[in-house]
Homo-oligomer: A and B are copies of this chain.
């Protein structure tokens, strides 16, 4: 089914946040932080706060601004809070999967919010079931909380470390107990997690630093691979819970997911993307009159491309500012132009022009062809597509929903074939080396979706399996 919602983009899986704000209602701050993390998940949102040992929960389907109001926010008392925004999939949306997830354990109540994917979840699930534990959902997150609940003696940090020793995958977690909040990052550093300092004391942990500015927080540092950061009345404390693996930070965070105003690996994402655009221009510039982005995410790349190539930056496509899911079907006559519901061309900007159009990525390739046609129909003399990343040829099992392998256009067509398919005058992708150059790195990134070189074995095995093969227990 082709709908207005079918964007040909990778999908992130969630944003996480934790705040300790002495003397202040932490949840009120967290609201503004989650609002800034909305781009990491629009399906649902939730918070669990802790007030003198009692946990308070509110979570629901919807945008952060829809889920919370003064009434329910007021109930989220206390100076400790964790929050979560959940990403929107079609169909599997269900209230019982909304996070954070809260449980009682022998050591008291605990709540957990999760961004990422646990690759050895099937085995862990089997093990829990064999221990005689009943599982209510098919989510990784429930597995994590049971690992925590059964993690043996010691303090919460050692329990968390014990859980980390059991799991494999890409993940950033926030965990709330009666006395502290914790941030946890996987040993490969696949998913991001940063620590900030509040202006009046207290700390904040978040998937991205863009959550800091609205609450007046300042960056302290990124949490390292395999580290746990505890925030509480004693400030913050970072410990290496499990050995750091070979760093494999997700390049797609840099290319597409992260907000341009976030800082990742020490650099502003907007600058990284400009540099990617510049590198793309260095590798495959072309004679042209204007550079236009595919809005909104292509803008920084296009600015960089324009800057490097000397070709004028302009706009050639307008995208609706109003986000709203719809399942209204176009009539048969309009079906082929579903892209036309999302983007409108700017003919007078394009007419007679040789146009370089910069997109951040091509996943299934369903949008690119109609966009090229739209630009040409609006008068462009030539349309050269430049893509700010290498061809995506392998699925991701570490937290990004790229599409299934057989849907990835670059998995079954060469760049030349794709260029013909989308009928561009020319098509070029960024090279992997070029990407690394723009990232100022020779290493330390996961490029598995381009190379098929996964950071650990399980992910390779998963690629060999049909995704749909895991037993579906609960229908919807």
Q: Give Cα A385–Cα B346 distance, bound, in whole angstroms.
A: 27
Contact A133 B109 (CB under 8 A): no
Contact B103 A134 (CB under 8 A): yes
Tell me the A309-356 residues at the B interface (CB within 8 Å).
Answer: 312-315, 318, 320-331, 333-334, 337, 340-341, 344-349
CB distance from A326 to the nearest CB of B (A): 4
Contact A347 B268 (CB under 8 A): yes
| Residues of B with C-beta under 8 A to A66 | 324
Q: Give Cα A261–Cα B316 distance, bound, in whole angstroms.
A: 9
Contact A260 B35 (CB under 8 A): no
Q: How many residues of A contact B (CB 8 A)?
A: 106
CB distance from A441 to the nearest CB of B (A): 17
Contact B65 A344 (CB under 8 A): no
Contact A64 B149 (CB under 8 A): no
Contact B63 A216 (CB under 8 A): no
Contact digits for A371-390, partner B, Cβ 8 Å, 1 yes 0 no: 00000000000000000000
Contact A475 B56 (CB under 8 A): yes
A474 touching B134 in the complex, CB below 8 Å, given contacts A213-B345, A349-B270: no
| Residues of B with C-beta under 8 A to A215 | 334
Contact with A296, one of B102, B267, B306, B321 (Cβ below 8 angstroms): B321
Contact B330 A32 (CB under 8 A): yes
| Residues of B with C-beta under 8 A to A38 | 320-322, 324
The SS class assigned to the A binding surface is mixed
| Residues of B with C-beta under 8 A to A313 | 303, 306, 313
| Residues of B with C-beta under 8 A to A216 | 333-334, 337, 340
| Residues of B with C-beta under 8 A to A279 | none
A472 close to chain B: CB less than 8 A: yes
| Residues of B with C-beta under 8 A to A129 | 104-106, 149
A130 close to chain B: CB less than 8 A: yes
Give 7 pairs: A residue, B residue, CB < 8 Å, sorted on A: A24-B333, A28-B330, A70-B329, A110-B134, A214-B340, A259-B318, A321-B323
**Told that A54-B473, A54-B475, A271-B349 touch, could you supply 11 new A-B pairs with CB distance under 8 A?**
A28-B330, A64-B322, A69-B327, A132-B151, A133-B133, A134-B146, A134-B148, A214-B340, A260-B318, A261-B346, A322-B323
Residues of chain A having any CB pair with chain B under 8 Å: 4, 24-25, 28-29, 31-32, 35-36, 38-39, 42, 51, 54-57, 63-66, 68-70, 73, 75, 95, 101-106, 108-110, 126, 129-136, 138, 145-146, 148-152, 199-200, 210, 213-216, 259-261, 267-268, 270-271, 296, 299-300, 303, 306-307, 312-315, 318, 320-331, 333-334, 337, 340-341, 344-349, 472-476
